[in-house]
């Protein structure tokens, strides 16, 4: 699933391509994951202008004229593509936004069909279930706020970092990479980590996320930007997806195991297994 850097990459590209453009029509080729129903969804979008695009965690919020917001979650394989209208409609282009522009349209493509697009009143959007409960943004939370958040809980640190109600936008990739750089085992309990170590973790999370955004995200599966180009940060991953490869620091084989309901990649020598779980 795209994480914060990948979603931020999409948001920035959408700002550059669709802001100020008007939707002249909408083709809905699959309506499984939209709200409201197909006819009302299309009617609400017709004639609306794209006025702003922002991110909240892994969610994309596209403000429209007339006081409505299009709320998009890419889920596992959702993509926005901004393409010439002469390009053939692909099998998994489920929604096509026709625009009053220079011969391009905006397409929502999703071959696994988990992505969601919903329309709400802008003044009500942040109160919707799935947004109102979200935790703080990792690039906005201060070091001390981060320390207090983690030290006040007793949870395994990897699942905690991935809990969107705890802190938003971090998934498997960036949790694994941040914990590795801080030499914290993914099973370590949050309230057992020293405050200096938590401050170090906070610094690594922010540094890694910022660098990944600069490199337009990580493409390890299907992620691609609005222009169809993959991200570049995968070249710098040190543990994620490197099971069995030697640790760059000590040479020990990187291990992958299930923690909670998700896998974790770590170095068993650099990230010592805790005794408190």
Taking alpha carbons only, the member of 260, 250, 219 closest to residue 236 is: 219
Give the number of other CB atoms < 10 A from CB of residue 253. Answer: 14
Active site residues: 2-3, 58, 262
Residue 161 phi, psi dihedral angles, 5° rounding: -65, -25
Taking alpha carbons only, the member of 50, 49, 61 closest to residue 7 is: 61
Contact 150, 211 (CB under 8 A): no
Contact 62, 20 (CB under 8 A): no
Q: What is the CA radius of gyration of the chain?
A: 20
Cα 139 to Cα 211: distance, rounded to the nearest angstrom: 12
DSSP summary character for residue 122: T
Cα 189 to Cα 131: distance, rounded to the nearest angstrom: 27
């Amino acid at each position: 699933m795209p994480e914060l850097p990948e979603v931020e990459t999409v948001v920035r590209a959408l700002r550059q391509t669709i802001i100020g453009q008007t939707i002249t029509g909408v083709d809905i080729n699959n309506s499984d994951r939209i709200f409201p129903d197909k006819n009302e969804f299309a009617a609400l979008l017709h004639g609306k202008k794209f006025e702003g695009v922002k991110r909240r965690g892994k969610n994309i919020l596209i403000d429209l004229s007339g006081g409505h917001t299009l709320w998009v979650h890419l889920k596992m394989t959702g993509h926005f593509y901004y393409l010439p209208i002469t390009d053939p409609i692909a099998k998994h282009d489920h929604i096509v936004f026709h625009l009053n522009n220079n011969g391009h349209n905006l397409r929502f493509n999703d071959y696994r069909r988990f992505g969601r697009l919903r329309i709400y009143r802008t003044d009500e959007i942040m109160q919707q279930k799935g947004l109102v409960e979200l935790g703080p943004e990792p690039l906005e939370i201060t070091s001390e706020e981060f320390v207090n958040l983690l030290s006040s809980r007793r949870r395994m640190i990897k699942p905690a970092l991935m809990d969107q109600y705890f802190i938003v936008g971090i998934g498997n990739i960036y949790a694994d990479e941040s914990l590795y750089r801080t030499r914290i085992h993914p099973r370590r309990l949050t309230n057992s980590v020293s405050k200096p170590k938590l401050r170090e973790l906070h610094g690594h999370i922010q540094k890694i996320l910022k660098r990944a955004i600069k490199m337009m995200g990580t493409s390890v599966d299907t992620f691609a930007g609005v222009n169809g180009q993959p991200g570049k940060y995968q070249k710098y991953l040190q543990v994620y997806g490197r099971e069995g490869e030697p640790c760059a620091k000590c040479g020990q084989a990187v291990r992958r195991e299930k923690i909670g309901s998700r896998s974790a990649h770590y170095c068993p020598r650099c990230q010592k297994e805790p005794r408190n779980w």
